Structure 1
């Protein structure tokens, strides 16, 4: 059997779910927004660092380019080169002078490893800073052989000859060269090429070296300088692999590619920290909501349980149970408790009434069983009196006794059931026959009812109490003719029965008391009996209305609903008439 969950257990998951959904959406939006902010920040930082690196690189290269340009236009240097080309001095002296000038120029350039001068006639001059001399050949010859394109007709060019380290007198270093064309100051013809060889550190110093940033300069598919010297000689695409944000740009003068790699470790850490913070906040909010929901639902659940307990007790038959209203409970629950209390009170009262009614019915049935012999005994006695009257030739007495027996039989047999209006009128005439003998004068009855109405059915003996009142109160002591007028019409789904006499009428107090259906009094037991029977038979649909002109007449209007299928709405020319005789 499936275990039922309480209201509180159903409420808490709903509240937590309602809280979790917006928190989840807020967390997603916050993470997306933070990610966008971090990416924009990385982009701005990378662009700024690349611009700064390019500016530093341009400044550095411009400095050495300017130094070479100044050396190429130096008058003494140009004169020495001219002497070498023209052979004006012995070769040893001219070469020594050129090498000395190269040394002086080289010493003026920081981070310079050496200088080379290659003339158009094929002569080469070298100056090695580590050797403080101009060696023949050596590492500069290998570097010159590795560089391509330096002979092109350009004023300046840049070259990184080999990615491997070069062994100099001061140790192994990575080098690159700045090439400058030398022209004759006389005719502007090219005389040679001047080269300054620089340590790779010159380039490295221009790169961003902050924590989390990895930078390098590549020439084609080879890395020629990097913040990490171990990366020199590697391939850019291999170094760019990994968890990095990569951005590159091309240096226009050299064609070198500057690349910066930003580690995304801090990016991921920031996102993870934000996510952890949001999860912590979400858990805290949900815990607070759960506690608040629990505390707020406790009085609600307690009230519901009290109502449920009272209902269970009422289901077991205890209708004396009551639910106390709690000021702290919601308005709706207090209304439910109030409604339950009223229902329990009414149900208990109805049960008591049903028990009393059952007891009264039981007593009535016993009394009816005990009295079953009385009608038979009375019928036999009246029959015996009737035959005695016939033997004495008292036909008037015989007729009265027979009428009384018939009335008694009609009233007793199937009491409370329906009878046709025709039968009711017949027995009413028999009753008037007996009453006029008692009254001592004739009572004239005039009935106005159509055949269709006389075929309708109403409950038995509804009219007799009113006829009895007319004879008893209206005709007693009256002089002159006594008339009883009965008129029946159908009006708007009701059978309207008018009983009117020309008796003494009623005073205002009696008339008001009769029309006030809420009062019971002993003066007109028959009227109260009819009123109760009408309420029993027809609920609140049937009603009575009395009218009177004191000293002239009294009348009663009886309105009884017509059963479905028994009647059309009759139009009567005398409809609405309330007094007088036709």
Structure 2
């Protein structure tokens, strides 16, 4: 045992010191990680919302330009003349080309505009090549089919301008009230530089994202990613990707959130936790080594002393150890006192045996006392019968029943049927005492009569009603007790047609923290309810002066409340 003692002490020291440190450290690390994760989620939501708002503003800007073009009466007249005269209307064609050039020059980001006529011919202006005659790309891109409203399209293949690759977006719409009755309808398309979209998705050095058409990338910080499938360009090891669908354009915004910093923080937290554990363990081992020797010597001395006492040697005494371990004197005094006490107990064994017998006899007498009281009541009852005092006899019989019910196992559970039978006796006796004729009415479905509740829960409310509700009030005094089930709870109501409760007292009765004063029974019921049923048990009062008072008890319905009978 002595050889194992140092290891046990070391284990105790390690447990006492390291477990709280580990719990505290782990809690702090988890809390830090939780805060960091929530912060990252907030940043992602903020970035998505900002990008979505910016995208809608850009599209709204260019959609407005397209709408103005498609509804401009002068442009519509030019298109109509060109469409009617064919290739012979060169003047109108030049004027329309000039107007398209003017629009391209006026608004940043527009790299070309094209209008398709009803006969399939086109009029365009290429802003990249500054040409209305020929373009290597604008007619090739064409105009997407427009059935209704505007059409948004991202071009995944670049156009070449002076050796530089430029990606474009298209917004197309039909010219207003023109060509609707023919085979083809005149339409217009604005070609926007993709960089205008990229700016709103990637801003401030902290917000990065893709714009997807389905699963195809149509805008990205790295132009080499455009035209690829999103899964091909995603790096889930270092980034987290979150998407938001833009209703106006039909595109999907994909936010790119770097998670390397979060993972680095996670690794740092684990490293810190490991360092704390190692340092704490090292310190505890050193402390255990420094203090185990004097304590071990003291423990071994006490083990030897207890072994001698176990063999019957009560002369042993603990030696002075205060110089080895401070405050050891109190333990030594207690130990020596214990030895003296044990010796005295052994010497007085016979006296202790006699004392136990006397206590047992006293206990039996105490158990006889209630039976003596019941027998006395029974004897008085028979005397009353001999003297033909039958009313007194009935009162004594009911009093005896009430006494037995109230003093025997008050914390036991009983059926509602038994509780109500006892309450009927209690009300009868109260009527005799107060010279009243209060009626007790039970509105309880038969199937609920076997539900079990704790005894005497309702008695304080009935007592208060008898004492206060009908005071100085004549007439038909009625107490109504009802029982029902509501949402997994037993709902018990106790209602009287008495004088009611004043507003101030009503507030006090409904305040669980208030001092009940003379209504101590109500406070005791609340305490019992909380003890038996927890916080789900509720009591509250409602009352109208000179009309009624109604008490509601809500008790959770539990399995043990189902009667086996």
TM score, norm. by length of structure 2: 0.51
Q: Does 1:301 align with 2:299?
A: no
Q: 1:311 to 1:116 in 2, by over 3 A?
A: closer
The equivalent of 1:326 in structure 2 is 322
Within 1, Cα distance between the matches of 2:197 and 2:54?
9
Q: Does 1:250 align with 2:245?
A: yes
Residue 212 of structure 1 contacts residue 263 of structure 1 at CA under 8 Å; is this kept in 2? no
**Which of 233, 242, 255 in structure 2 is aligned with 1:239?**
233
Q: Does 1:160 align with 2:151?
A: no
Residue 304 of structure 1 contacts residue 333 of structure 1 at CA under 8 Å; is this kept in 2? no
Q: Does 1:39 align with 2:37?
A: yes
Residue 169 of structure 2 contacts residue 193 of structure 2 at CA under 8 Å; is this kept in 1? yes
Within 1, Cα distance between the matches of 2:318 and 2:192?
103
Q: Deviations over 1:272-317 (max 9, x none)?
A: 22222233333344444444444444542354567799999xxxxx
Residue 171 of structure 2 contacts residue 189 of structure 2 at CA under 8 Å; is this kept in 1? yes
Residue 213 of structure 2 contacts residue 252 of structure 2 at CA under 8 Å; is this kept in 1? yes
Farther off after superposition, 276-285 or 333-342: 333-342
**Which of 187, 195, 209 in structure 2 is aligned with 1:193?**
187
Q: Deviations over 1:238-269 (max 9, x none)?
A: 33342232210111122111111212211111
Within 1, Cα distance between the matches of 2:95 and 2:290?
100
The equivalent of 1:270 in structure 2 is 265
Within 2, Cα distance between the matches of 1:179 and 1:30?
56
The equivalent of 1:48 in structure 2 is 46
Return the offset for 1:188: 9.6
**Which of 92, 97, 100 in structure 2 is aligned with 1:99?**
97
Return the offset for 1:57: 0.4
Q: 1:123 to 1:295 in 2, by over 3 A?
A: same
Q: Does 1:174 align with 2:172?
A: no
Q: 1:128 to 1:332 in 2, by over 3 A?
A: same
Q: 1:187 to 1:276 in 2, by over 3 A?
A: closer
Return the offset for 1:25: 3.9
Residue 27 of structure 1 contacts residue 275 of structure 1 at CA under 8 Å; is this kept in 2? no
Farther off after superposition, 110-119 or 326-335: 326-335
Within 2, Cα distance between the matches of 1:160 and 1:135?
25
The equivalent of 1:407 in structure 2 is none
Return the offset for 1:80: 1.8
Return the offset for 1:212: 6.9
Within 1, Cα distance between the matches of 2:67 and 2:232?
38
Within 2, Cα distance between the matches of 1:248 and 1:101?
39
Residue 213 of structure 1 contacts residue 263 of structure 1 at CA under 8 Å; is this kept in 2? no
Within 2, Cα distance between the matches of 1:290 and 1:205?
60
Q: 1:325 to 1:13 in 2, by over 3 A?
A: closer
Return the offset for 1:209: 4.4
Residue 218 of structure 1 contacts residue 236 of structure 1 at CA under 8 Å; is this kept in 2? yes
Q: 1:324 to 1:240 in 2, by over 3 A?
A: same
After TM superposition, the structure 1 = structure 2 runs for residues 503-514 of structure 1, keeping only pairs within 5 Å, are none
Give ranges in structure 1 of 5+ residues lacking alignment.
313-318, 343-582
Q: Deviations over 1:299-357 (max 9, x none)?
A: 42354567799999xxxxxx999954425252476359969999xxxxxxxxxxxxxxx
Within 2, Cα distance between the matches of 1:135 and 1:169?
18
- Partner SS state of residue 253, structure 2: strand
Of structures 1 and 2, the larger Rg is shown by 1
The equivalent of 2:277 in structure 1 is 282
Farther off after superposition, 173-182 or 26-35: 26-35
- Partner SS state of residue 124, structure 2: strand
Return the offset for 1:169: 4.4
Q: Does 1:68 align with 2:66?
A: yes
Give ranges in structure 2 of 5+ residues lacking alignment.
308-314, 341-565
After TM superposition, the structure 1 = structure 2 runs for residues 122-521 of structure 1, keeping only pairs within 5 Å, are 122-136=120-134, 138-144=136-142, 150-161=144-155, 163-169=156-162, 171-184=164-177, 192-209=186-203, 214-243=208-237, 244-304=239-299, 323-326=319-322, 328=326, 330-331=328-329, 334-335=332-333
Q: Does 1:119 align with 2:117?
A: yes
**RMSD of Structure 2 on Structure 1 (CA):** 3.8
TM score, norm. by length of structure 1: 0.50
Q: 1:236 to 1:186 in 2, by over 3 A?
A: closer
